[in-house]
């Protein structure tokens, strides 16, 4: 075998737009009073069609109108979800990794429309709890398309999995094996191994994954308990920026397969986990494909009946959701404010918006994200790219709660003409945002407006969703 090519690590500032002297702005199409509904699903909000920026504009117009009539909570923040972007990401996955089955990480964004669309597209589902399993089963997903990818599960969750015939589940310790032997002896177990996750935003190895040296002991325990271990899984960490991490992990998985043979098992599953970033996806896919060809050649996988699956989450949904927030207050620090520095690098203007780190921006605290606002309106009017970049000043953006840590953007540049009542937008807000939002201080979580997008992609989304009902 030849040495695998090592790809240089990529450096970038997450998957958000970088700060610059001129604000990023995508001109939106004009708003209209009526947008046709594409699909109506009982119990779910309507699904419209049309460009997502059109729906962003319409949402702002509706909010401003409601405010003028005195309607309560009229300026509430809201998402626009473009389901055609989820569809496009799936096509992108199939092109780059045709031999790897995606099992969507439900924890990333358990949105009901997203789940229904991915079900129609044929993905599997990575579930971490009884609640996620129940949600996926409730939309008609077959239990065989679920992996219970939590190595440390409550006993009641294992019993629920057994009753629901969700047999595929992970483990990384002997206590879990004894628990499964008692509660679900027919489970199909997958040993989760420890990998190098040092290049990831969220390092999961501190909590999960058995070191390779422990794998023979775990397999011996499983054999002694007459349990069926069917494969190996790993996770390079959420938001992995170095594609080489997948190559190293697949090499370790190859060794774990050898340990399985020594223990009397014939593994038939390799789960390469998650960690897929939008900006580096093709490079990660190439690294995975090269490593699979090296350690698990396709001919050997086919003869041994080995499936390769993955657990993408943010890759599917991050770029599909954008957020609009209203400026609810503005504070200008005076010259004698003790918080101001002499070098004029401390923002003097503070904008307060109606979503924050206890809501959709919890990703800043828990997912290590950095977000950048762009301007949607100035003085109540929709902006052009010229207006959005004119006469900028240093400022900071804060959430609505009483907590001092509720800071969305500590330093950014926004137009000096912004006023209370104007709107800011935030792109790429689909991953680990809505799902972890709380109602701290009594602030409600932000609503979602859904669109199937435009053109042939929109038609594909509609057909897929109709086929699920």
**Rounded mean pLDDT, 276-296:** 94
Rounded distance between C-alpha atoms, residue 258 and residue 191, angstroms? 13
Tell me the pLDDT band of 209, cut-offs 50, 70 and 90: confident
Q: SS3 sequence, 411-469? A: EEEEECCCCCCCEEEECCCCCCCHHHCCCHHHCCCCEEEEECECHHHHHHHHHHHHHCC
- What is the reported pLDDT for 97? 98
Q: Residue 300: exposed, middle, or buried by beta-carbon count in 10 A (0-12, 13-18, 19+)? A: exposed
- What is the reported pLDDT for 242? 73
- Nearest-5° Cα angle at 194, 264 to 161: 70
- What is the reported pLDDT for 321? 98
CB atoms within 10 A of CB 2: 5
Kindly tell me if the per-residue pLDDT of 324 is higher than 70.
Answer: yes
Tokens 């991050």 belong to residue? 318
Winning range, highest mean pLDDT, from 26-30, 96-100, 340-344, 389-393: 96-100
Winning range, highest mean pLDDT, from 30-39, 41-50, 258-267: 258-267
**Architecture of the 63-81+320-334+345-455 domain:** Beta Barrel (2.40)
CB of 369 closer than 8 Å to CB of 14: yes
Residue numbers annotated as active site: 402
- What is the reported pLDDT for 60? 96
Residue 257 or residue 73, greater confidence: 257
Kindly tell me if the per-residue pLDDT of 450 is higher than 80.
Answer: yes
Tell me the pLDDT band of 342, cut-offs 50, 70 and 90: low
Kindly tell me if the per-residue pLDDT of 216 is higher than 50.
Answer: yes
Q: Among 69-73, 356-360, 416-420, name the one with the lowest average pLDDT.
A: 69-73
The domain over range 97-316 is classified in CATH as 1.10.8.60: no
Same fold yes or no, 63-81+320-334+345-455 and 97-316: no
Tell me the pLDDT band of 391, cut-offs 50, 70 and 90: confident
Residue 371 or residue 31, greater confidence: 371
Tell me the pLDDT band of 288, cut-offs 50, 70 and 90: very high
- What is the reported pLDDT for 469? 58
- What is the reported pLDDT for 172? 96
Tell me the pLDDT band of 341, cut-offs 50, 70 and 90: low
Kindly tell me if the per-residue pLDDT of 29 is higher than 50.
Answer: no
- Start-to-end C-alpha separation, the chain: 49
Residues 6+ apart with CB under 8 A from 182: none
CA 31 to chain CA centroid, nearest Å: 29
pLDDT, tens digit (0-9, with 9 covering 90-100), for 139-196: 999 999 999 999 999 999 999 999 999 999 999 999 999 999 999 999 999 999 998 7
Percentage of residues in the chain with pLDDT exceeding 70?
A: 85
Residue 39 or residue 86, greater confidence: 86
Rounded distance between C-alpha atoms, residue 239 and residue 38, angstroms? 33
Kindly tell me if the per-residue pLDDT of 377 is higher than 80.
Answer: yes
Domain boundaries, the chain: 63-81+320-334+345-455, 97-316
Query: CA dist 350 to 20, 391, 406, Å?
Result: 19, 16, 12
CB of 468 closer than 8 Å to CB of 139: yes
Q: Residue 328: exposed, middle, or buried by beta-carbon count in 10 A (0-12, 13-18, 19+)? A: middle
**Rounded mean pLDDT, 203-232:** 89
């Amino acid at each position: 075998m030849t040495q695998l090519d090592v790809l240089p690590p990529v450096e970038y500032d997450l998957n958000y737009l970088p700060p610059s002297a001129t604000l990023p702005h995508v001109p939106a199409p004009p708003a209209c009073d009526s947008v046709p509904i594409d699909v109506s699903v009982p119990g779910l909000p309507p699904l419209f069609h049309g460009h997502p920026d059109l729906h962003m504009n319409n949402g702002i117009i509706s909010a401003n109108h409601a405010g003028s009539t005195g309607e309560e909570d009229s300026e509430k923040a809201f998402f626009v979800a473009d389901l055609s972007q989820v569809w496009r990401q799936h096509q992108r996955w199939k092109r780059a990794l045709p031999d790897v089955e995606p099992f969507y990480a439900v924890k990333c964004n358990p949105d009901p429309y997203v789940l229904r669309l991915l079900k129609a597209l044929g993905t599997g589902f990575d579930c971490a709890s009884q609640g996620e399993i129940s949600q996926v089963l409730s939309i008609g997903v077959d239990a065989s398309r679920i992996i219970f990818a939590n190595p440390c599960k409550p006993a009641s969750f294992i019993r629920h999995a057994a009753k629901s015939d969700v047999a595929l589940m992970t483990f990384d310790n002997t206590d879990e094996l004894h628990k499964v032997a008692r509660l679900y002896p027919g489970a199909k177990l997958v040993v989760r191994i420890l990998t190098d996750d040092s290049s990831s935003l969220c390092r999961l190895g501190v909590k999960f994954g058995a070191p390779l040296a422990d794998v023979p002991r775990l397999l011996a325990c499983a054999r002694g308990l007459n349990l069926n271990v069917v494969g190996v899984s790993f996770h390079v960490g959420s938001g992995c920026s170095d594609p080489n991490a997948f190559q190293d992990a697949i090499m370790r998985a190859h060794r774990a397969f050898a340990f399985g043979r020594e223990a009397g098992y014939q593994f038939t599953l390799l789960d390469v986990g998650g960690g897929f970033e939008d900006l580096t996806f093709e490079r990660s896919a190439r690294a995975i494909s090269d490593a699979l060809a090296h350690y698990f050649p396709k001919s050997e996988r086919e003869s041994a009946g080995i499936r390769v699956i993955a657990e993408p989450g943010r890759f599917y949904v991050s770029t599909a959701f954008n957020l609009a927030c209203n400026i609810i207050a503005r504070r200008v620090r005076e010259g004698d404010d003790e918080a101001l520095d002499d070098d004029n690098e401390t923002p003097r203007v503070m904008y307060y918006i109606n979503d924050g780190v206890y809501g959709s921006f919890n990703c800043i605290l828990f997912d290590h994200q950095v977000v950048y606002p762009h301007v949607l309106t100035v003085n109540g009017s929709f902006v052009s790219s010229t207006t959005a970049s004119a006469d900028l000043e240093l400022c900071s953006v804060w959430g609505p709660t009483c907590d001092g840590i509720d800071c969305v953007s500590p330093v950014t540049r926004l137009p000096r003409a912004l006023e209370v009542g104007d709107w800011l937008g935030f792109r790429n807000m689909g991953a680990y945002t809505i799902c972890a939002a709380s109602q701290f201080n009594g602030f409600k979580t932000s609503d979602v407006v859904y669109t199937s997008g435009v053109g042939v992609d929109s038609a594909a989304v509609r057909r897929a969703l109709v086929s699920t009902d």
